[in-house]
Amino acid sequence: MDKEELLQQVRNLAAENLISKEELTRAYDEAFGKKIDLAITKKPGITKILYYIGGAIVFLGIAILIWQNWSTLSVATKIIATLGSGIAAYIVGVLFGRYEKLDPVGQAFYLISALVTPIGLYVVFDNAGFDVGSHGTQSLISGILFGTYLLSFVVFRKNIFTIFSIIFGTWLFFAFTSFLIGGKPHFDELNFFEYRALTTGLVYILLGYSFSKNEKHPLTGPLYGFGILGFLGAALALGGWEPNQNIFWELIYPGLVLGVIFLSVYLKSKAFLTFGSIYLMVYILKITAEYFTDSLGWPLALALAGLALIAIGYFSFYLNRKYLSSKNTKNI
């Protein structure tokens, strides 16, 4: 097979959605020996899953040990058992990560570090006299963790650090904004939380979209899922409930949900379609209970809501079958 025949075959496979641009790029890079973070670009096998489960069990063992012996352990022992264990696990992860075959084991140790280190920092700040329950102290702890794992990603270029950076960055965002604005007299903290959840969901969606174009694309699906869940859930909550409903959010909410559903086709995202359809159903039930049970009667209102839900279900099924049921749909 000459070069032109090979290229034509690639064109045919691409036209039939049997091969993606990312797969071609990855194959080209592998041919020239470029390292790719296999732990995130391939679906984890049973061995890797066992590594992570083992790491989580190690974390539970350390946490239970500290909890059972908290009153008898000295301050130094508490710090060594928590923060020391987290740092040691991180170092072991770095050492294992230098070897490709041992890299999955190293990532399990990174998981142990990410779970244990926050406890260690809480112990350090608590014994230093800080109020660990305050938003200021939580901002310091989450800021240290976020900076550590973001710098780790810059240095080692391992995508597992991207996950930790997103998690601790989210914690930092909520803690620091609460430190700046929360606790003021007559301040509606629930409403403030809902707006922050809305913002966080939108940021997750944008991150998912940006990751869809590079080697981090396996993170796109989870980010879309959590992003849509937070964004539409917060927007629905902002609408409130009669008699304290927010008319602005109740009026724009159908547009937001329908926009998400139609974006699912463009982004080929089942998360957008699934959560968009579910939230549209919830919205219809909410509006029906708020405004139509008295005027139409509860039985008739339920019947109309049921017909609407059936229509939404069929519409979602149609979109999924026509546009998203492809072997190469990446963003689940």
Reference 166, options 227, 119, 92, 98; nearest CA is 227
- Residue 97 or residue 297, greater confidence: 97
CA–CA distances in Å: residue 231 to residues 57, 97, 141, 224, 319: 33, 36, 26, 10, 22
Per residue in 100-132, pLDDT (tens digit) is 888 888 888 999 999 999 999 999 999 899 999
Q: Which residue has better confidence, 274 or 40?
A: 274
- Residue 187 DSSP one-character state: -
Q: Residue 270 pLDDT more than 50?
A: yes
Four-residue CA torsion sign, 110, 111, 115, 116: negative
For residues 321 and 265, what is the distance between their CA atoms, to the nearest angstrom? Answer: 11
Regarding pTM above 0.85, the answer is no
* CB contact at 8 A, 209 and 203: no
∠ CA 36-156-46, nearest 5°, is: 55
CA 153 to chain centre: 17
- Which region among 15-24, 84-93, 134-143 has the lowest average model confidence (pLDDT)? 15-24
318 vs 327: CA distance, rounded Å? 17
What percentage of the chain's residues is helix, strand, coil (to nearest 5)? Answer: 80, 0, 20
Q: Are 226 and 201 in contact (CB under 8 A)?
A: yes
What is the structure's pLDDT at 22?
A: 65
Q: Tokens 């547009």 map to which residue?
A: 255
Whole-angstrom distance, CA of residue 20 vs CA of residue 208: 18
DSSP H helix total and E strand total for the chain: 15, 0
**pLDDT at position 1 over 70:** no
Q: Choose among 12, 40, 13, 15: nearest CA to 26.
A: 40
* Most confident residue range from 155-164, 214-223, 226-235, 252-261: 226-235
Q: Residue 269 class from Cβ within 10 Å (0-12 exposed, 13-18 middle, 19+ buried)?
A: buried
Extract the tokens encoding 274.
């699934």
Tokens found for residue 291: 């405004």
User: 182: pLDDT confidence band, cut at 50, 70 and 90?
Assistant: low
Cis before 243 (ω within 30): yes
pLDDT of residue 32 exceeding 60, the answer is no
DSSP assignments along 53-82, one per residue? HHHHHHHHHHHHHHHHTTTTS-HHHHHIII
When pLDDT is cut at 50, 70 and 90, the band that residue 277 belongs to is confident
Query: How does pLDDT run across 54-95, given as a tens digit for each residue?
Result: 888 888 887 887 788 878 888 898 899 889 999 999 999 999
Residues 216/235, Cβ–Cβ less than 8 Å = no
